[in-house]
């Protein structure tokens, strides 16, 4: 009698364990997504840009070229002039460059009156690819004579390394020297809005000053979801949405 009872209890327990196992198998939650990498701000920014989601066609990916080129250009500021740094072109109307000895430089001075430069100046340009897009830097830091006449604007045309997609904005960001942040100046001054030239795969805009500029698609996709995209206003080790 005792043996029979133990057998019955053992059989019942085994059946219960089998049912529980089947239940666990049927209702177990899916595996959690991989944790976001534990990186510094700067490392995270590069990781995000290098893993830009599905079918981003180069936007937010690693550099297409790591070649760095540079050249000196001597500009006569009293005449219409232009410089061509690789595929990038800057055009200067006559008397449009402020005298750097007296003009000062800073965001609060872009529209301040200045004395036009009257003697030749050497401008050093360095260009490459950064975050997968065209980048160029000019030295020395210069301001350009303020004007409301579009025919008197200093303008720059940049050619990107990837085909331009009209579904996205392509601002030309200025790199603020004080903190390295990339800034879309058109948010504060529409005269510096970028214009796309599809046949030439170019983007152009007005410049009020010289330093570093980056041509960029106006969004970066989160690598964990192709549908999670955030527009960029500025970034330097971190991303900031509009």
pLDDT, tens only, 21-76: 444 444 444 444 444 444 444 554 555 555 543 334 444 455 666 789 999 999 99
More confident residue, 79 or 35: 79
| Total number of domains in the chain | 1
Distance CA 134, CA 159 (A): 7
Task: Identify whether the C-beta of residue 205 lies closer than 8 Å to the C-beta of residue 213.
Answer: no
Task: Identify whether the C-beta of residue 62 lies closer than 8 Å to the C-beta of residue 50.
Answer: yes
Average of per-residue pLDDT across 99-104? 96
CATH of the domain at 90: 2.60.220.30
In a domain, 121, yes or no: yes
In a domain, 99, yes or no: yes
In a domain, 41, yes or no: no
Q: Does residue 86 come out as left (phi exceeding 0), alpha (psi in the -120 to 50 range) or beta?
A: left
In a domain, 44, yes or no: no
In a domain, 82, yes or no: yes
Beta strands in 80-201 (DSSP E): 81-85, 88-92, 121-130, 133-143, 154-159, 172-175, 182-183, 195-197
Average of per-residue pLDDT across 151-173? 88
Residue 201: which domain range?
60-218
In a domain, 163, yes or no: yes
In a domain, 198, yes or no: yes
Specify the 3-state DSSP secondary structure of 84.
strand
In a domain, 123, yes or no: yes
At 166-210, the pLDDT tens digits run 777 788 989 888 877 778 899 889 999 999 998 899 999 999 999
């Amino acid at each position: 009698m005792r043996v029979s009872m133990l057998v019955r209890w053992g059989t019942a327990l085994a059946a219960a364990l089998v049912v529980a196992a089947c239940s666990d198998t049927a209702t177990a939650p899916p595996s959690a997504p991989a944790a976001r990498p534990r990186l510094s701000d700067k490392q995270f920014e590069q990781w995000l840009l290098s893993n830009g989601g599905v079918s981003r066609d180069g936007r937010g990916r690693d550099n297409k070229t790591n070649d760095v080129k540079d050249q000196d250009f001597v500009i006569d500021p009293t005449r219409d002039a232009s410089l061509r740094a690789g595929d990038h072109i800057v055009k200067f109307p006559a008397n449009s460059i402020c005298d750097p000895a007296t003009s000062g430089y800073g965001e609060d001075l872009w529209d301040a009156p200045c004395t036009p430069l009257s003697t030749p100046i050497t401008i050093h340009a360095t260009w490459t690819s950064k975050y997968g897009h065209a980048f160029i830097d000019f030295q020395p830091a210069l301001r350009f004579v303020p004007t409301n006449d579009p025919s008197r604007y200093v303008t720059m045309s940049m050619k990107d390394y990837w085909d331009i997609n009209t579904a996205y904005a392509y601002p030309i960001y200025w790199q603020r020297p004080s903190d390295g942040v990339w800034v879309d100046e058109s948010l504060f001054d529409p005269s510096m809005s970028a214009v796309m030239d599809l046949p030439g795969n170019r983007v152009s805009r007005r410049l009020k000053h010289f330093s570093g500029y980056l041509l960029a698609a106006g969004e970066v996709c989160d690598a964990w979801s192709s549908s999670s995209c955030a527009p960029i206003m500025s970034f330097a080790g971190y991303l900031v949405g509009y």
